[in-house]
Structure 1
Amino acid sequence: MQRSRLAAVGLAAVLAGTAATLAVTTNAQADTEALGSNWYASAPYLMPVSNNPPDPVAVMAATGQKAFQLAFILAPNGGGCSPTWDGVSAVSSDTAVAGVISRIRGAGGDVSVSVGGYGGTKLGQTCGSVSATAAAYQQVITKYGLKAIDFDLEEPEYENDAAIANELGAAKTLQATNPGLFVSVTMPGTAAGTGWFGTLLIDKAKSIGFTPDNFSIMPFDGGFNGGSSQVSALEAFHGLLMNHMGWDSATAYAHAGFSGMNGKSDVSEMFYVADFQTVYDYAVGHKLGRFTFWSVNRDRQCVGTTDNGVCSNVPQNDWDFTKFSTRFAGATPPTSTPPTTPTTSNPPGSCTAAEWQKTSVYTQGNVVAHNGHKWTAKWWTQGEEPGTTGQWGVWTDSGPC
């Protein structure tokens, strides 16, 4: 499942601008009590130093949410078995994310950290054994004093049996050596619950005697159409857990979870606030163990941009989707609705350029109109929608028209 990912240059700029002020927070181990597992089970994903991250403390105040799922830990882009933020910034020398964690904890919250995600090189691929993979992740747990960790198992390691064995084996090791650690496993979703490789993943977990607190599926980017189709996938996944883990119905529900995508997905599926309400009602009614989404960075209405990394592309108020996570944790969000914060100040106008067509071929310099903006192609392309792949995609946003 494609997620807008952190560019090295963007991270470098953030680190350079924050290192001095955050030096005192190099080690974010906090003498704080863990939140209840309900908060880790509801923690929405947040990229802390990329994709125009919102102030997490402001989000907490506006929604009542207490925990966030910080993404993503990967192997170094140049190879190796040491943990980094998005393949770029070594955990061992990090101060930027440590500062974010300190602010969240200072406001009475906490974080889980997600390892993996879509794309990039995963530690399960580069570390040569279960023990080496576990040791790399233990560095992250120790550095930030974590009480929760998420294994987001996707491409390209998803189909790599040895890599998945390293990840699941490491998860089991960490669960045993860090008593009370909340461990979730997240995988792609399909109409059948999950696909062939997801089913193999569940079988492998059972074969090694590993039971995470939660198995979650991501029912998006797979031909889904609104909340009802996601509920259907979750019900199918419940059946898979019963059949492959040998659980009764209640146990399977309690270990199943939803990890959605708010707004417009990478393949232009649309998930509105009403769709989240549909899935939320199902999750609460069936006592599912987790309810989360990708991502808080996108939990605001688009104004003057359609960049899928920083806004949802659906009508909403700021943090409408995050409030579902708060409610799932058992808390009541504040009744006042904060004003929607535009991601840019330039409203779209009317365009005279030809509208982008999915089946058309475009070459360098071609100009199209889409969602009130002009877009200029950097190179040959077909089928890549303007505004969905960020600044590193083929399309340059030439502004409102």
Structure 2
Amino acid sequence: MQRSRLAAVGLAAAVLGTAATLAATADAQPAAAAALSNNWYASAPYLMPVSNNPPDPVTVMNATGQKAFQLAFILAPDSGGCSPTWDGKSAVSSDTAVAGVVNRFRGNGGDVSVSVGGYGGTKLGQTCGTVDATAAAYQQVVTKYGLKAIDFDLEEPEYENTAAVANELGAAKKLQADNPGLFVSVTMPGTSAGTGWFGTQLLDQAKSIGFTPDNFSIMPFDGGFNGSSAQVSALENFHGLLESHLGWDSATAYSHEGFSGMNGRSDNAEIFTLADFQTVYDYATGHHLGRFTYWAVNRDRPCTTTTDNAVCSNVTQNDWDFTKFTTRFAGATPPQTGPPTSPPTNPPGTCTAPEWQKASVYVSGNSVSHNAHKWTAKWWTQGEEPGTTGPDGVWSDNGPC
């Protein structure tokens, strides 16, 4: 799905100046990655580090508590070849600008994942020719930045190229094997049916080569989606596709399913407000989805001096309001230990109380499960999330379950 990648030309000088300033604050070689659990990588929102007027990483981290961010995008060189570049223009091998951004995150206690692909441009799966060559190109990125997570964002024009997708998925499997503990996500376009024909072909290809990423995410936007109800319906339909195409039980499918949304006004003029994000968040946490992210932090601010959809959301919000959802998701998602070698037969956890539901009314003495804890209501409540009201709030924490 198309997402605004490049801001107005007038921003170019400011963007390059920001990247140079960030690079100057740190050594060219990124510092060692922070010891973050996988739930942080599963919540990492997308951020373009050298274009679309990137915000200061520390400012966003301190304002939201978010610890991991998804840097985008790695492409093949615009001039051709099988070497990784940022946006097709800047070689990873000689990069200092993004390395400086990475160090800003890590110096503040956070970390980054890197996303490869995206909409438009030439992808390495198209130019590298083989699985091994594609994997070797991506291994350069993993090694250069000391990555603990990587995202394969498989979109046009590669998405409909069977050989290129086979190279990408084969490379993802090889990276997973060669870098133990690497969190690997696969992101694809969403449709009202969950995903389209090429998406189901992608799932079938992954199964045929024995590749199980930590997560398969869909992007339910830029496809005629009318708010959060349409997005939730698409996610539920995608859950069914994960069951039918990968042979997973319901709990396994949910735990390896993800949402990758778009905040504010989409490229196709769909509108996704903070209330829409709340609805999808409730669905994601209520069904124990494994990933919740969005495009993009560069847009997570109100439009003031411009309505450029690449650098502001075009909806009512305060700075970084959408990023706060990903922070909450990291806290609501039990850390993962990596993809299963075989699908589990029982859902995780031993909580027996019913899962908390935002729309339900609870009275004194009612018990619920939420975020792997049991909670008991002290008085009448509705819509107050357990774990967010504090020790003097409505919910008593009865401990892990």
- TM-score category of the 2 structures, normalised to the smaller one: 0.7 to 0.9
* Contact 1:148-1:183 at 8 Å conserved across structures: yes
Query: 1:257 is paired with a residue of what secondary structure?
Result: strand
Question: Which residue matches 1:193?
Answer: 194
Distance of 2:67 and 2:243 partners within structure 1 = 31
Structure 1's unaligned 5+ residue stretches are 333-401
- Tell me the equivalent position of 1:359: none
Amino acid corresponding to residue 325 of structure 2 in structure 1: F
Amino acid in structure 1 at the alignment position of 2:323:
T
| Superposition map of 1:227-306 within 5 A | 227-306=228-307
| Alpha-carbon offset, residue 13 of structure 1 | 6.9
The residue type equivalent to 1:145 in the other structure is: G
- What's the CA shift for 1:25? 2.2
1:24 CA drift (Å): 5.5
Show CA shifts across 1:223-257 (max 9, x none): 10011110000000000000000000000000000
Mapped to 1, the partners of 2:311 and 2:301 lie a distance apart of 8
- SS at 1:253 equivalent: helix
- 1 CA distance for matches of 2:177 and 2:13? 33
Deviation of 1:100 (Å): 0.4
Report what 1:184 is aligned to.
185
SS where residue 114 of structure 1 aligns? Answer: strand
Cross-structure match for 2:211: 210
**1:61-76 alignment runs, 5 A limit:** 61-76=62-77
Q: Provide the C-alpha distance between the structure 1 equivalents of 2:22 and 2:255, rounded to a whole number of angstroms.
A: 44
Q: Conserved in 1, the CA contact under 8 Å of 2:15 and 2:54? A: no
Distance 1:8 1:206, change over 3 A: farther
Letter paired with 2:20: T
What is residue 329 of structure 2 aligned with on the other side?
A: 328
Task: Classify 1:7/1:90 alpha carbon distance in 2 versus 1 (closer, same or farther; 3 Å).
Answer: farther
Cα distance in 2 for residues equivalent to 1:77 and 1:326: 35
1:84-107 CA distance string (max 9 Å, x none) = 000000000000000000010000
Q: What is the alpha-carbon distance in structure 2 between the residues aligned to residue 220 and residue 18 of structure 1?
A: 33
Cα deviation digits, residues 195-242 of structure 1 (max 9, x gap): 000000000000000000000000000010011110000000000000
In structure 2, the residue matched to 1:140 is 141
Q: CA deviation at 1:128?
A: 1.1
**Alpha-carbon shift at residue 5 of structure 1 (Å):** 2.3
Provide the C-alpha distance between the structure 2 equivalents of 1:142 and 1:219, rounded to a whole number of angstroms: 32
Partners of 1:74 and 1:115 within 8 A in 2: yes
SS of match in other structure, 1:185: strand
Gaps of 5+ in 2: 334-401
C-alpha contact (below 8 Å) 1:64/1:331 kept by paired residues: no
Secondary structure of the corresponding residue to residue 306 of structure 2: coil
Aligned pair count reads 331
In structure 2, what is the Cα distance between the partners aligned to 1:162 and 1:254? 28
2:20 to 14, 18, 21: 18
Structure 2 counterpart of 1:313? 314
Task: Give the partner amino acid of 1:188.
Answer: P
State the SS of the aligned residue for 2:222: coil
SS of 1:115's equivalent in the other structure is strand
Q: 1:337 — aligned with what?
A: none
- CA distance in structure 1 between the aligned counterparts of 2:300 and 2:25, rounded to whole angstroms: 30
Distance 1:311 1:23 in 2: 26
Give the secondary structure class of the aligned counterpart of 1:60.
helix
For residues 7 and 297 of structure 1, what CA distance do their matches in structure 2 show? 10
Per the alignment, do residues 27 and 305 of structure 1 end up closer, same or farther by CA in structure 2, a change over 3 Å counting? Answer: same
Deviation at 1:20, TM superposition (A): 10
Paired residue secondary structure (1:330): helix
**Secondary structure at 1:57 match in 2:** helix
8 Å Cα contact 2:217/2:257 also seen in 1: yes
Work out whether residues 299 and 318 of structure 1, in 8 Å CA contact, stay in contact via their aligned partners in 2: yes
Structure 1 consecutive aligned stretches of length 4 or more whose deviation exceeds 6 Å: none
Counterpart residue type for residue 284 of structure 2: A
Aligned-residue offset at 1:2? 1.4
- The 8 Å contact of residues 6 and 86 in structure 1, kept in 2 or not, is answered as no
State how 1:22-171 maps to structure 2 within 5 Å: 22=24, 25-28=27-30, 30-171=31-172
- CA drift of 1:31 comes to 2.8
Distance 1:23 1:77, change over 3 A: farther
CA offsets 1:133-185 (integer angstroms, 9 cap, x no match): 00000000000000000000000000000000000000000000000000000
Amino acid in the other structure paired with 1:289: G
1:11 and 1:79 map into 2 onto residues whose CA distance is 26
Q: Are residues 23 and 123 of structure 1, via their aligned partners in 2, closer, same or farther at CA, if it must alter by over 3 Å?
A: farther
Letter in 2 for 1:25: D
What RMSD over aligned residues (CA atoms) do the two structures have, in Å? 2.0
Identical counterparts, % of pairs: 80
Q: Distance in 1 between matches of 2:109 and 2:23?
A: 21
Spell out, residue by residue over 1:63-101, the C-alpha distance to the aligned partner (whole angstroms, 9 max, x if none): 000000000000000000000000000000000000000
Letter in 1 for 2:24: L
Q: 1:257 & 1:317 partners in 2: Cα distance?
A: 25
Distance 1:319 1:227 in 2: 20
Aligned-residue offset at 1:7: 7.7
Preserved CA contact (<8 Å) 1:125 1:163:
yes
TM-score when scaled to structure 2?
0.80
Cα distance in 2 for partners of 1:220, 1:311 equals 17
Per the TM alignment, residue 23 of structure 1 is displaced from its structure 2 partner at its CA by: 8.7
CA contact (8 A) 2:15 2:53 kept: no
One-letter code of the match for 1:22? A
State the shift of 1:17 in Å.
7.0
CA contact (8 A) 2:285 2:332 kept: no
* Counterpart code for 1:257: G
Q: How big is the shift at 1:32?
A: 3.5
